[in-house]
Amino acid sequence: MTFQAVMLEQQERQTLARLTSLSSSDLPDEEVLVAIDYSTLNYKDALAITGQAPVVRRFPLIPGIDCAGQVLESRHADFQQGDRVLLNGWGVGEQHWGGLAQQARLKGDWLIHQPEGLTSRQAMILGTAGYTAMLCVMALERHGITPAAGPVLVTGAAGGVGSVAVALLARLGYQVVASTGRPEEADFLTQLGATQIIDRAELSTAGKPLAKERWAAAIDSVGSHTLANVCASLQYRGVVAACGLAQGMDLPASVAPFILRGITLAGVDSVYCPVAERKIAWQRLSELLDESIYTQLLLEEVSLAQSLERAPALLAGQIRGRLLVDVNR
């Protein structure tokens, strides 16, 4: 039996992406064979497909840092045939064959069981973006940020991480300020729970080392000048959870807000996050979000072939919310 997959190859240092047919015997010899129901198109997947950044470490490779489906075969003690599982990160889709396919053979230690009540479709509407947003919220909570502390800023709010972060914070009772460069998405962000929308231009250029105190905390997926300005504008003992670099990897910041206001910059990594924390994050996602949120978050449901077409639009910042990939369509 053959199955469909997106395959990346490299010729003369150019990445070529195509849809191809494979058999289970073509897959790496890992412990768990999964029949994939859904995957999703993330920023990193779009970089891999287009070759605009060297995120892929070996060729040929199936991209896709996320997948959810059902176990077909298992040599791992924690998983049996028929189990519903999901995967995020661990270098899958970068160093190991990933989830933009109808089947994947994966290490059992990379997988977790889908929480009760969460479907494969819902899990992949969230994907790594939603899971990362939950990790960011948990980071703020660990540092003592409660709804009573004051407003929480979310940068890149119309994107994958940002939109889920807005929804989660609002569900937990926080006052959410959403920063976006797309004013046409104001209604979308308000529906998710944002109480104020600001233009990203307020934060995206060089600013003061120490600015007026505006937010108790922030979730930032942008980096560069935006993250520097967020740090400069946090209230005393404020916290920012940083998880992305859409504007850039640099951080042109000052130590002033750290030593004069005692702020905390908490880095959030979703790729190698410990399994125990992953399970907590996914359990909380399943409990906090309902079908109305999934409907609002989902921009488009596409096939494997269409995922190749949509990757450039995602990199160009033309996508709001989430792109779900039905690998069997």
CATH number at residue 245: 3.40.50.720
The percent of residues above 90 in pLDDT, for the chain, comes to 90
In a domain? residue 163: yes
In a domain? residue 175: yes
**What pLDDT score does 43 carry?**
87
User: Looking at the predicted structure, is the pLDDT value of residue 7 above 80?
Assistant: yes
Same domain, 303 and 263: no
* Cβ atoms 285, 134 nearer than 8 A: yes
Same domain, 263 and 299: no
| Strands, E assignment, 108-263 | 112-113, 152-154, 176-180, 196-199, 215-220, 234-242
In a domain? residue 183: yes
What is the mean pLDDT of the segment spanning 78-90?
A: 97
- Number of domains making up the chain: 2
User: Looking at the predicted structure, is the pLDDT value of residue 246 above 90?
Assistant: no
State how far the Cα of 329 lies from the Cα of 326, in Å rounded to an integer: 6
State how far the Cα of 104 lies from the Cα of 122, in Å rounded to an integer: 19
Same domain, 81 and 27: yes
User: Looking at the predicted structure, is the pLDDT value of residue 21 above 80?
Assistant: yes
CATH number at residue 322: 3.90.180.10
* Cβ atoms 170, 164 nearer than 8 A: no
What is the mean pLDDT of the segment spanning 153-179?
A: 96
In a domain? residue 204: yes
Same domain, 108 and 135: no
| Strands, E assignment, the chain | 2-11, 14-23, 32-40, 66-74, 84-88, 103-106, 112-113, 152-154, 176-180, 196-199, 215-220, 234-242, 264-267, 298-302, 322-326
What is the mean pLDDT of the segment spanning 127-131?
A: 94
Q: Show the CA angle centred on residue 124, arms to residues 123 and 125, nearest 5°.
A: 95
Same domain, 89 and 205: no
**What pLDDT score does 59 carry?**
94
* Cβ atoms 7, 18 nearer than 8 A: yes
Same domain, 243 and 209: yes
Same domain, 95 and 23: yes
In a domain? residue 168: yes
Q: Which of 46-60, 127-141, 192-206, 234-248 has the lowest mean pLDDT?
A: 46-60
The percent of residues above 70 in pLDDT, for the chain, comes to 100
Same domain, 71 and 139: no
Q: Which domain holds residue 166?
A: 128-267
pLDDT tens for 189-241 read 999 999 999 999 999 999 999 999 999 999 999 999 999 999 999 999 999 99
Question: Residues 275-289, buried b or exposed e (16+ Cβ, 10 A)?
Answer: eeebeebbbbbbeeb
SS3 label, residue 284: helix
Same domain, 259 and 133: yes
Question: pTM for the complete prediction?
Answer: 0.94
